[in-house]
Structure formats: structure tokens, C-alpha cells
A = this chain, B = another copy of it.
Amino acid sequence: MRVTVWNEFRHEKSNPIVAGIYPAGIHGAIASGLVENGILGVTTATLDEPEQGLSTERLAETDVLLWWGHRHHDEVSDALAAAVCERVNAGMGLIVLHSGHFSKVFKRLMGTPCTLRWRAQGELERLWVVDPAHPVAAGLPPFFELEREEMYGEPFEVPPPDELVFLSWFKGGEAFRSGCGYRRGRGRIFYFRPGHETFPTYNDATIRKVIANAVRWAAPAVMEAEPFQNRRIMPPLEPI
């Protein structure tokens, strides 16, 4: 399995608090967490690298892509967003993290606005496992907590998830569908809510385990080699 962690990687450069929490970047922390959980073949890519980190070749060599973006979704080229979506439909797994809910990639794959309510005051988030037998919940306790996180509230404008794994409880009064699985084309998509840049979420052992579980769950079952197309079937299998 070849895993690519993509990160906008701008907050870390401009905000010393974020740089302090994530000295190797958010992508670096996520990648470390994956390695720590036994995922091999992990590399990273960032927005300011050539071809925004994801050349055609790079994407073609990625089995599962993780996506963290926030302020600069619009800078991601339409062509790249389209290429990522195409590869997801072909079979690549995609793990969309936190503010990636509003990325071009996620919005295109969902077909909905993907908006939500938010408040970045650093409040307690408690995540409840609603489907303990789901592979993304493997090895987790009934709930787990993040002492300080951004709040995301409903309605989360996404299609009804094919598989709902977590609900979040926020101290400030909201509940949220925090772990949403989707099957699209040959690929699988998992949206996992936590991860505001000013809190050390991706350094948390349980969060790292969830993300590793999600990567394993989203590993491609098959990968389409040819682009999808409408295919004419002649002659018929049976006399008409």
C-alpha cells in the first residue's frame, strides 16, 4: 500500500503556534502516526511543491490519499481536484480530515455544499463510537476525548453517509456526525472531523489509531486501469 499525506502546509509557516505543535508539519505528524500504527509506504505532499505536490505520476502511485486543507482550498487547481476525484472513483482510498470538508476534492465527490457550523474556541470534544464493529473503530474504547478542539455542528451538508462510525459531543452544546464512510465508484472515502491546526490533535495516540484504521479500510479492493466510459454491448447476450 502506498499512502500519500497531502497538506496545505501554510499555517505551519505563518503561525508560530501551529509550527510549535507540528514542527514537521501537520502532514509530518499524520505520517508519523501512520508509521507508528504499522502502515508502510507513507510519503507526504504539500501545496507549495511542484504540481501542488501531486503530479500525475504521484497520484497514479497513490493507493490511499489523506487530505488536510483549510484556508487555501481555492488555490488547488481545478485540474488537480478533478484528477484526485477521478482516481478515487478508479479505486483510490481518500481520507478527508477536518477542514478538508470544504476542499474542492470533497465537495466534488459529495455533490453537496459540505457546509457546517463552527466555533474555534478550544473546547472539549468527546467522540462516541456508534458502530463498534466497523473496521475504522477497531481497538477503540466506547468514547475518546480531545481536550481542546474546534467545534463543528449540524447540519453537515453531505449526502447521508453509507456508514456512520462516530458522533461527536462538544462541551459548547453541539453534536456532529464525525466519522462518515462513503463508497464511490471503486473507491472509499472516510471523513474524520477532528484536527484544527492550533490544537495537537494529530499527536494524539487514539486519533492516530483511527486514521490508520481508516487508511486500512480505504485500501483499494480493485483499481480501474481504464477511464470510466459508457460501453456499447453488442451483440446482445440473448436473442432480442
Contact = CB atoms under 8 A, between A and B. Distances in A.
Interface of A: 85, 89, 91, 102, 108-113, 115-119, 121-124, 126, 128-135, 138, 142, 151, 153-157, 159-160, 162-164, 167-177, 182-188, 220-222, 228-234, 236-238, 240
B173 A185 contact: no
Contact of A232 (B118, B142, B182): B118
A233 B133 contact: no
Contacts of A231: 115-118
A77 to B, nearest CB: 15
A25 to B, nearest CB: 24
A167 to B, nearest CB: 4
14 contacts: A89-B113, A108-B108, A112-B185, A117-B233, A119-B232, A126-B175, A128-B175, A130-B156, A132-B222, A138-B222, A153-B233, A159-B159, A159-B183, A162-B162
Given A128-B153, A162-B162, A164-B164, 11 more contacts: A115-B230, A118-B232, A131-B183, A132-B222, A133-B185, A133-B221, A154-B167, A160-B164, A167-B167, A171-B238, A174-B237
Given A118-B230, A222-B133, A159 B184 contact: yes
